[in-house]
Structure 1
Amino acid sequence: MDAAAIEEMFQGLGPVTIKRMFGGKGIYHMGSIVALEVRGEMLLKADEQNAPEFAAAGATQWAYEGKKGNPVKMPYWSIPEDAYDDPDVMAKWVRLAYQASLRAG
């Protein structure tokens, strides 16, 4: 995903900074990381407070295979499908990601 597409996705939150990391990209708003792009998939930050809302919307939590073959769950979730067609819905999810980022410190 190019920078213009990412900026459009996050327009409901405000300006973002995009940094390369882990073979993907980190998306920051006001100095806090709110999302990762990993292998072409955008993942939004969530925490124990709002992860249930992501799960209820059909999002999936990102995990990678650890050294012993066990999945290691990360605090990033896929974006619910309906958000891609509606900027207002996307704005809701990116704001939730920013709130989780603020709570994480």
Structure 2
Amino acid sequence: MSVDEGLYAWVEEALEPMGPVTMRRMMGAAVLYLDGVIFAVLDESEIWFKSDGETDAVWDGEGCGRFTFRAKDGRTETMNYRSAPSDVYDDAEAMRRWASLGREAGTRAASTRKKR
């Protein structure tokens, strides 16, 4: 797996008004940060936005599936990331709207970890 550099450039361009986007490569994908907060993952040419219990209904309403993968023991696992709606790939306003939800979920997740 590799990260689509053109897609990353598009994310940076579309989200520039919201703050700096940075990328950290991990296991063939890349974690994206907006102003230092995890908000999405790039996996090949797909964007997966961070989600949580507060935003799940919004993602479900748009038909955005949950990130799933097969664990080493064969079980199917899920993570709190949702597939991006198709309009984020060519509409900067849509990208900002959905990235904002991802950043909100990322902020809440970081806050929860600090409390532990």
Fold similarity call, TM over 0.5: yes
Relative to the length of structure 1, the TM-score reads: 0.88
Per the TM alignment, residue 9 of structure 1 is displaced from its structure 2 partner at its CA by: 3.9
3-state SS of paired residue (2:19): coil
The answer to whether the aligner puts 1:7 opposite 2:12 as a matched pair is yes
The 10-residue stretch of structure 1 (33-42 or 80-89) with the greater mean CA deviation from structure 2: 80-89
Unaligned runs of 5+ in 2: 111-116
Relative to the length of structure 2, the TM-score reads: 0.80
Cα deviations by residue, 1:22-81 (Å, 9 ceiling, x for unpaired): 211110122221111113211110001101101111211101012332211101111112
In the alignment, which of 6, 25, 44 is matched to residue 39 of structure 1? 44
Root-mean-square deviation (CA), in Å?
Answer: 1.6
In the alignment, which of 48, 70, 73 is matched to residue 68 of structure 1? 73
Relative to structure 1, the CA distance from residue 20 to residue 27 in structure 2 (aligned partners, 3 Å threshold; closer, same or farther) is: same
- Letter of the aligned partner of 1:37 in structure 2? L
3-state SS of paired residue (1:98): helix
3-state SS of paired residue (1:97): helix
Q: How many residues align?
A: 105
Higher helix proportion: 2
Tell me the residue number matched to 2:114: none
CA contact (8 A) 2:11 2:95 kept: no
The answer to whether the aligner puts 1:22 opposite 2:39 as a matched pair is no
Counting aligned pairs with the same residue, the percent is 32
Computing the radius of gyration from Cα coordinates, the structure with the larger value is 2
Tell me the residue number matched to 2:91: 86
The answer to whether the aligner puts 1:99 opposite 2:97 as a matched pair is no
Relative to structure 1, the CA distance from residue 63 to residue 9 in structure 2 (aligned partners, 3 Å threshold; closer, same or farther) is: farther
